């Protein structure tokens, strides 16, 4: 199982996009507050479309509250400061829970959290002059890498809604 942890996200549109991805990949999202917006924000709804009510997510008021429940779990921290690329991590065990934390759009994950978990910090490679990627895009990259490593376990790899032969039928 995959879980995405969002540390104090700042942009409701990103949350909506992430919840949409989470719904399409059957993963859970954990949001750590405080938030500067409400979850009924119209930009969150626009990005998340009608997937938000179907999405599995929970909210913690603070990192400390989250950590009480997850301190014994193996968490991966996605940060530009990591020295190992996400693709160098083995995420191929379908019986294991994979938890990926992403930081705020403006400041990332706090330094002290990263410093305490150096062996679990992963980086998305990018051009040297690039400062960062969009949060929802970063989440999608990591989620689909983890899913690729388990051969998209439990997800459809064929068109179901319109039929597997949609492109070939007359």
- 3-state class (DSSP) for residue 86: helix
Q: Residues 105-116: pLDDT tens digits?
A: 999 999 999 999
Q: Strand locations in the chain, DSSP E? A: 2-7, 28-32, 56-60, 75-78, 98-102, 121-122
Contact 18, 52 (CB under 8 A): no
Phi, psi (rounded to 5 degrees) for 122: -130, 150
Whole-Å CA distances, 75 to 5, 7, 37, 45, 56? 9, 13, 26, 28, 19
pLDDT at 120: 97
pLDDT at 47: 45
Say if residue 46's pLDDT is above 60. Answer: no
Say if residue 45's pLDDT is above 70. Answer: no
Say if residue 38's pLDDT is above 50. Answer: yes
Q: What is the mean pLDDT of residues 146-151?
A: 95
The residue that leads in pLDDT, 101 or 48, is: 101
Split at pLDDT 50, 70, 90, the class of 55 is low
Task: Specify the pTM.
Answer: 0.90
Split at pLDDT 50, 70, 90, the class of 9 is very high
Q: Residues 58-99: pLDDT tens digits?
A: 999 999 999 999 999 999 999 999 999 999 999 999 999 999
pLDDT at 48: 44
Say if residue 23's pLDDT is above 50. Answer: yes
């Amino acid at each position: 199982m995959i879980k995405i942890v969002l540390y104090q996200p700042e942009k409701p549109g990103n949350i909506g996009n992430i919840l949409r991805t989470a719904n399409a990949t059957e993963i859970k999202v954990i949001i750590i507050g405080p938030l500067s917006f409400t979850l009924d924000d119209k930009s969150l709804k626009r990005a998340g479309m009608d997937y938000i009510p179907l999405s599995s997510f929970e909210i913690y008021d603070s990192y400390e509250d989250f950590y009480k429940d997850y301190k014994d779990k193996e968490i991966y921290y996605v940060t530009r400061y990591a020295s190992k690329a996400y693709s160098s991590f083995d995420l191929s065990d379908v019986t294991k829970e994979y938890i990926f934390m992403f930081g705020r759009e403006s400041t990332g994950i706090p330094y002290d959290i990263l410093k305490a978990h150096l062996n679990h910090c992963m980086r998305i490679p990018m051009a040297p002059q690039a400062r960062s990627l969009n949060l929802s895009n970063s989440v999608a990259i990591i989620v689909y890498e983890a899913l690729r490593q388990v051969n998209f376990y439990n997800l459809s790899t064929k068109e179901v809604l319109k039929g597997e032969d949609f492109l070939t039928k007359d």
